[in-house]
Structure 1
Amino acid sequence: MTSSSVASSAPSFRVWALGGIPEVRAGDDLAKLIAAAEPGLVDGDVLLVTSKIVSKAEGRIVEAADREAAIDAETVRVVARRGPLRIVENRQGLVMAAAGVDASNTPAGTVLLLPEDPDASARAVRDGLRDALGVDVGVVVTDTFGRPWRNGLTDVAIGAAGVRVLDDLRGGTDAHGNPLGATVVATADELAAAGDLVKGKAEGLPVAVVRGLSHVVASDDEPGARELVRSAADDMFRLGTSEAVREAMTLRRTVREFSDEPVDPGAVRRAVAAAVTAPAPHHTTPWRFVLLESAESRTRLLDAMREAWIEDLRRDGKSEESIAKRVRRGDVLRNAPYLVVPCLVMDGSHSYGDERRDTAEREMFVVAAGAGVQNFLVALAGERLGSAWVSSTMFCRPVVREVLSLPSSWDPLGAVAVGHAVGVARERAVREAEAFLTVR
């Protein structure tokens, strides 16, 4: 076999930018403009269309003397902020700079918003080219993104029609026979980047054609580019800087119903590592966390606590029916697959021999321990674990210390039920910060 025959059999494709597309205005038919610029399109071609001309054709130009206000309107969630730059999740579900609001290549005093539904926009161009030229092509609507951990910009797919946006290779093998367990190729993004090489950023060439990759062109039923957006549950990097910390605080909810899914002990240990960064008096470390990872240890503790509680309730004169109801309400700990008992230790505290100062000293340590528990709960939320901080161990500390073989100097501060929440947490009641402020 000659070298030329080897070269001719190697996979290849061609990509070129279309010239002759005029300035696009609201109401223009993009499919007709593209068909006029390239009447020689064939089945299996892929059109890469810059989102900017899609937005212009769809009338997504808005008056906005203040671009920041337009960004606010398009923002669902702020992911990170540094100075004036904001990385946000926009109404299309895309995480990007400035919500995709663009003030370039648009008249002064206006901004350009992304298409309302980029997948629908791609379908309209695909259908229009089928009507105009009788061809079956794929269409990808592209926009420019920066990326975490990487310098520079590249085009990615934000809308698609008739294109296999993802190529799932899981279950196959590589050239050496090794199983592929996590390989899902973002084909639509690769196409978008290829088109950007010939369209450029400032050449006025908003459409490119890829020929020779007809295997990526699919039916109308193929899901669009929304398939490329990672779900919140699968996004390991959803939380980031100060805005993300506030997001974690919001995610922290009291969970009272847990699934059977096991808890990763490593995640709990990472949450403890966050907990012990809390402030504390006199450079002390007043936190200890007892991890109940075995079902036997959890049951033994909870059974002993229940008996102690029942005895207390009987001494209070409660009826057996009332006692049974109260005990059932405490089952949130019993239903959790993992328990943590945070404890306060007073090592390093000062003794003043004065009741007022000694009381204040202990209160400082209690506050520090509470800060550690709050850190712990928020870190669990960041690990996508639900939790419920229940005070019950504080009412039977001797029992808890005996069952868990803890030093007499350790004071349990409740128990934290940990697990994966069943269902979606209810919306938290809005608390206006102003209601909790006093300014002098």
Structure 2
Amino acid sequence: MTEERPEYRVWALSGIPEVQQGDDLAKLIAAAEPGLADGDVLLVTSKIVSKAEGRIVEAADREAAIDAETVRVVARRGALRIVENRQGLVMAAAGVDASNTPAGTVLLLPEDPDASARAIRAGLRELLGIHVGVVVTDTFGRPWRAGLTDVAIGAAGVRVLDDLRGGTDAYGNPLSATVVATADELAGAGDLVKGKAQGRPVAVLRGLPHVVDGGTSVTGPNGAAGPDGEAGEGTDGARALVRSARDDMFRLGTSEAIREAVTQRRTVRAFTDEPVDPGAVRRAVAAAVTAPAPHHTTPWRFVLLESEESRVRLLDAMRDAWIADLRRDGKSEESVAKRVRRGDVLRHAPYLAVPCLVMDGSHHYGDARRDGAEREMFVVAMGAGVQNFLVALAGERLGSAWVSSTMFCRDVVRETLGLPAGWDPMGAVAIGHPAQEPGPRPRRDAGGFVEVR
């Protein structure tokens, strides 16, 4: 018995005229290929969808049009911008295209590519009585890969993602992370025959009827589909291919990542019980020790209190020292209790770090003025190191609070932690997963902090 060989065929349609605003794409496609059949997949270049929907706009300056379509800039190099556009797609130039459009105009992506795909599919069903899948495609570059390829930006009646998790491979091994971007694979197949400049904006793929369904966007393990919907209405369509911000490990470009880590670094005083990854803290220390320092020294030391016993022992000793100091200052018991409670952020944190300043390599000049300035240089370097540390923690999605309390009882901290006499504790950093999202940061006008001479 001969084993069935899986195969498919894909071809580009000839005879699609220059598309004008208001054209019915389903009618143009049906006229060019009246032999379409159930289970076919139509791969439609977004450019003709945009033209039919009147997405041509006058724009003497393409950059201005890109600005209007941009939600955020992800990365920039020279004139090239990778941005997130209003459709939620991350791509070059927001998808604004100045080619194959009259001079002085640019072409924008369809307003809702999934809705466009649904309209074409419904039109073909009405005209030809067939159930097909429709994928609206556009050309993307990709991180870490040279060259361009077509991907799906809109879809209807197509299994956009095949979720194979929970199934097994040919050897019986469990699949735990495999989700196939089926719609993107279909788009790439169509691009091979459409070409970029041959005037063939539509391709047909035949032979894979299992990727066409009654409306389900995402299939489950082993191809199991969810509830059917008519013509793809009510499904996510190609939107399912766009990672949410929460799940996207590579959401930020280099410059944006630096800016966001700095601006999103907030003092966090309430933490969850979720354990802190010690590796994340060590990566933050590695960032800390890249800070500038005088005389090519390394004045930073970080004491990491990873056990609850070490944290409690230190905080109890510090509390006793604070209380004794406050009572010597004549503070009332109510005032003492109130001030001690301010240190609770350290006690409730699941992880503590004590940054310490060491003066190894410092110069001694023999007069108070220059020796004082020498120490100040080292203290400034310590602050730079701790700032790096806090920003890196924010990049690890960890909250932190730098509390100065250890500086008021350094001898107690050194004795409790068994530190060398030359190590000066410079506060303590409470670290953990934030119990809630921080509120909006009040805007500060940088101009108010600048003097120009």
Alignment TM-score, normalising by the size of structure 2: 0.91
Superposed displacement of residue 111, structure 1: 1.4
The residue type equivalent to 1:83 in the other structure is G
State the secondary structure of the residue aligned to 2:347: coil
Corresponding position: 1:121 with 2:116: yes
The residue type equivalent to 2:173 in the other structure is N
Counterpart in 2 of 1:301?
314
Equivalents in 2 of 1:162, 1:306: separation in Å? Answer: 66
Equivalents in 1 of 2:42, 2:316: separation in Å? Answer: 67
Q: 1:138 aligns with which of 133, 136, 148?
A: 133
Corresponding position: 1:337 with 2:337: no
1:130-167 deviation line (CA, Å, top 9, x unaligned): 33333222222111111111111001111222222111
The residue type equivalent to 1:290 in the other structure is V
Equivalents in 1 of 2:400, 2:333: separation in Å? Answer: 30
Counterpart in 2 of 1:105?
100
Corresponding position: 1:24 with 2:19: yes
Deviates more, 1:428-437 or 1:319-328: 319-328
Equivalents in 2 of 1:344, 1:390: separation in Å? Answer: 15
Counterpart in 2 of 1:275?
288
Superposed displacement of residue 323, structure 1: 3.6
Equivalents in 2 of 1:174, 1:434: separation in Å? Answer: 60
Superposed displacement of residue 301, structure 1: 1.9
1:262-297 deviation line (CA, Å, top 9, x unaligned): 222112111111111111100000111111112222
Superposed displacement of residue 39, structure 1: 2.7
Q: 2:271 aligns with which of 255, 258, 264?
A: 258
Corresponding position: 1:397 with 2:410: yes
1:181-204 deviation line (CA, Å, top 9, x unaligned): 211111111111111111111111
Q: 1:430 aligns with which of 402, 420, 443?
A: 443
Stretches of structure 1 that go unaligned for 5 or more consecutive residues are: none
Counterpart in 2 of 1:153?
148
Counterpart in 1 of 2:229?
none
Counterpart in 2 of 1:176?
171
Inter-CA distance 133–277: structure 2 relative to 1 (3 Å threshold): same
Query: Equivalences for 1:27-426 in 2 at 5 Å?
Result: 27-218=22-213, 219=215, 220=232, 221-426=234-439
Deviates more, 1:425-434 or 1:371-380: 425-434
Inter-CA distance 392–38: structure 2 relative to 1 (3 Å threshold): farther
| Contact 1:163–1:222 under 8 Å retained in 2 | no
Superposed displacement of residue 126, structure 1: 2.3
The residue type equivalent to 1:12 in the other structure is E
| Contact 1:162–1:222 under 8 Å retained in 2 | no
Identity of aligned residues (%): 84
The residue type equivalent to 1:370 in the other structure is G
Stretches of structure 2 that go unaligned for 5 or more consecutive residues are: 216-231
State the secondary structure of the residue aligned to 1:233: coil
| Contact 1:239–1:382 under 8 Å retained in 2 | no
Alignment TM-score, normalising by the size of structure 1: 0.93
Equivalents in 2 of 1:163, 1:281: separation in Å? Answer: 62
Inter-CA distance 300–118: structure 2 relative to 1 (3 Å threshold): farther
Superposed displacement of residue 174, structure 1: 1.2
CA RMSD of aligned residues (A): 1.9
Deviates more, 1:314-323 or 1:402-411: 314-323
The residue type equivalent to 1:64 in the other structure is A
Equivalents in 2 of 1:253, 1:88: separation in Å? Answer: 26
Equivalents in 2 of 1:97, 1:265: separation in Å? Answer: 38
State the secondary structure of the residue aligned to 2:116: helix
State the secondary structure of the residue aligned to 2:343: helix
Superposed displacement of residue 349, structure 1: 0.5
Equivalents in 1 of 2:145, 2:318: separation in Å? Answer: 53
Work out the number of aligned pairs and report it.
435
